[in-house]
Amino acid sequence: MSGPKGARGNRFEGALDPVAAAMNASVGFDHRLLPHDVAGSIAHAEMLASRGLISQEDARAIILGLREVADQLASGALAWDEALEDVHMNVEARLIDEIGDAGRRLHTGRSRNDQVATDLRLYARAAAGRIQHAIDELRRALVVQARAHVDTLMPGYTHLQRAQPVRLAHHLLAYDQMLQRDRGRITDAARRADVSPLGAGALAGTTLAIDRKRVADALGFSAVAANSLDAVGDRDFAIELVSACALAHVHLSRLGEELVLWASSEFGFVRIGEAYCSGSSLMPQKMNPDLAELLRAKVGRVVGAWVTLVTVVKGTPLAYNKDLQETQEPLYDAVETLEASLAVARGMIASLDFDVARMRAAIDAGYLVATELADYLVTKGVPFREAHDHAGKLVRLAVSRNLELAQLPLDDLRAVHPAFDDDVATWLDPVRAVDRRDLPGAPARARVLEELAWVERELGLSD
């Protein structure tokens, strides 16, 4: 091979210690940057030719050679060489092998420092687009289930204790709200990544008359980095993206936790599709919600990736330091973990079979309409705190008789407060209780339908 032997050049007589070389090499993980590295190099070569820094003939040879090398590396026809350290040197060495001296001119006016910073920004921007799409696919699955269960009632919980009746659709759409915020944070992170570092050189730019804006435009960047020192040393965009991934996975963890609970015999609210469950090596009857549990667990590695990133960056001086190589693996791991988890969550949500009768029966045990008694008295002019006390007395009475509130005779209600009348029975109907909560963001049927319609339009699920 006639290409460069890593980046050490002739300054060094000997090779790195083998253990040190293994630690120094990044091609084992930064091969993910291949399409972005080649795209950046093509844009750079075109710019060099436009400025007369290389010939048009050399630029054409470089571009064709880069595409050929990229195809061979991607297909496995060419093996990655750890001795060449990273994706950049692997591509450049193979390019020189492919086209000769023209390949040696590609690196004119650029450093691996601004090159990797550019590749990572391109990677982050592309990853953000994929994550946005995956989030929307999960939202669509949630919305389909919500549309099917507008009229399914279930207990709403606080402190994991049955609290008040709500619509299942309302509960599912709460996750859509979380995912909307996650999508917004991913979009914000992508916006911060949308700046081109190319032209910053190693840290102080170049004396050659390059055209930074032309390269930025060719790569679809909205701006060029304003400070060369910051351009090569900035990894804020990666930290922001991983932070957004971590919070998105926190929401998936909450979803996984609820599915684990709901699928248990104690709740019995839902059956998860067999494609997302596992059996037991000992107990043949078991169908365990393993994938929901993994959604719960994998948040740890994504949060860990964020901690790694901020810890690596926190003590680095300006410009490029080798520490920054350690920001790549957590970035890739966070992105890939979230993408996989979003895909699993989408399929699992689509597979859910809710036990509507079991959910409805759960509303009728636990005094979930107690607040309705207090609200009823408020409409009769009783101060809320006093009304709350009277409702509590009636709950105690019902518990002592092993009855639900709707089963208490009207005389018992009037003995607690004379304002109770025959119409109180309608207040104790769970369906009416939910529909009286007819405020923006509340679970009344009309409000849930409004929210569903808005989300469906936003996701392109309706005309």
Active site residues: 159, 280
Q: And the tokens for 115?
A: 């090159």
73 token code pair: 């590396």
What's the start-to-end Cα distance of the chain, in Å? Answer: 59
Both tokens of residue 306?
Answer: 């964020």
The DSSP code for 37 is: H
Q: Which residue has the tokens 């050049």?
A: 9
In DSSP terms, 278 is beta-bridged to 288
Nearest-angstrom CA–CA distance, 180 and 203: 38
Integer CA distances (angstroms), 349 to 9, 11, 118, 255, in order: 55, 58, 37, 10
Distance CA 414, CA 133 (A): 57
Residue 136 CB neighbours (<10 A): 18
What is the signed CA dihedral for 80, 81, 86, 88, rounded to 10 degrees?
-70
Q: Under 8 Å CB-to-CB from 192, ≥6 apart: which residues?
A: 236, 237, 240
